[in-house]
């Protein structure tokens, strides 16, 4: 299996490591010139809960090459179309695509490439790229992989089996992707959104900022919305634990600090959209959606003032839902 990985941040680098360990031919595409040169010079270095080194080839768009059997997307969910476009000459009729992105990004991928060719890997992973390019892994708990079209799981099974062979008990092939998407949204949307607003890492947000109650309520909103559509989580746990991040900044906070767009539209935005269809009120996620977008634009900054604004707007949303 010949695989292209788009993006060499934390998740893309981890994907390259797993692919190389499994003996697959991995080629990584990275727009950051310095990062691409770094990988060409010394490969990918991973430390922490899982450790290892990988030396994938570094792809260059516009250069001739054989087509890929699998393309792994490890870029922001909003960048999917732009990231895929340069690789369009390197695909064949049976090429499949795997979204290694937050939220419900696989749905957007399916629109671009067709539902039968779209798959998702929901990562219960806490990792980040250090300034020197090394990848630090706080917790690599599980990759949950599924197909956008039920019954197509067998197509991605060789990839899952290969990863499972080199990292036992780290991969799960899900028979129902939507159930797994909503399980992930339940914890990740709440924790990542609240950390983005507070400017705090999860353990600090929970213990020092007093966000435990709000986080639990946000997770409960997601559960109610998912259940209304038939995607019920039979074993809900603590969103703080299920989200995996502890002493590491979740992606949404890192994006805001770096001046990038977040994946809020694919997380709280997905919950709000489904709630609207079901006629349900979700004041916490409605507020997170609007406030994080304002954080992206620079109208607010993460911290105490943003937290107070969050609480004020939640109360306001609750009052409106009672009218």
Q: What is the mean pLDDT of the chain?
A: 92
Residues 157 and 184 in one domain: no
Q: Which two tokens stand for residue 18?
A: 């797993």
Number of domains in the chain: 2
pTM above 0.85, yes or no: yes
CATH classification of the domain holding 170: 3.40.50.720
Query: In terms of residue numbers, what domain contains 243?
Result: 179-321
What pLDDT is attached to residue 321? Answer: 60
229: pLDDT confidence band, cut at 50, 70 and 90? confident
Mean pLDDT confidence for 173-202: 94
Asked if residues 80 and 92 have their Cβ atoms less than 8 Å apart, the reply is no
Residue 207 has pLDDT above 90, yes or no: no
Residues 232 and 140 in one domain: no
Domain boundary among the residues 136, 157, 175 is at 175
pLDDT in tens, 97-148: 999 998 778 888 999 999 999 999 999 999 999 999 999 999 999 999 999 9
Residue 323 has pLDDT above 60, yes or no: no
């Amino acid at each position: 299996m010949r695989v292209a990985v788009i993006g060499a941040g934390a998740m893309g680098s981890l994907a390259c490591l797993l692919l190389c360990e499994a003996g697959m031919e991995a080629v990584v595409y990275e727009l950051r010139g310095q990062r691409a040169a770094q990988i060409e010079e010394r490969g990918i270095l991973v430390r922490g809960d899982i450790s290892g080194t990988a030396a994938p080839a570094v792809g260059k768009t516009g250069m001739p090459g054989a087509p890929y059997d699998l393309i792994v997307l490890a870029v922001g969910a909003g960048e999917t179309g732009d990231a895929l476009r340069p690789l369009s000459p390197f695909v064949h009729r049976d090429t499949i695509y795997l979204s290694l992105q937050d939220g419900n990004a696989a749905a957007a991928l399916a629109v671009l490439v067709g539902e039968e060719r779209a798959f998702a890997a929901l990562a219960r992973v806490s990792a980040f790229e250090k300034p020197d390019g090394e990848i630090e892994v706080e917790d690599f708990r599980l990759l949950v992989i599924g197909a956008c079209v039920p019954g197509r799981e067998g197509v991605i099974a060789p990839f899952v089996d290969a990863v499972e062979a080199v990292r036992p008990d780290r991969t799960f092939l899900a028979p129902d992707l939507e159930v797994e998407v909503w399980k992930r949204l339940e914890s990740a949307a709440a924790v990542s959104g609240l950390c983005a607003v507070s400017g705090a890492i999860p353990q600090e947000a929970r213990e020092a900022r007093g966000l435990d109650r709000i986080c639990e309520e946000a997770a409960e909103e997601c559960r109610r919305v998912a259940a209304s559509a038939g995607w019920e989580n039979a074993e809900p746990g603590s969103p703080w634990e299920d989200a995996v991040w502890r002493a590491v900044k979740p992606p949404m906070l890192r994006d805001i600090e770096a001046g990038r767009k977040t994946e809020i539209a694919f997380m709280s935005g997905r919950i709000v959209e489904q709630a609207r269809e079901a006629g349900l009120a979700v004041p916490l996620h409605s507020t997170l959606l609007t406030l994080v977008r304002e954080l992206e634009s620079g109208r607010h900054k993460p911290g105490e003032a943003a937290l107070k604004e969050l609480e004020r707007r939640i109360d306001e949303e609750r009052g409106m839902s009672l009218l």
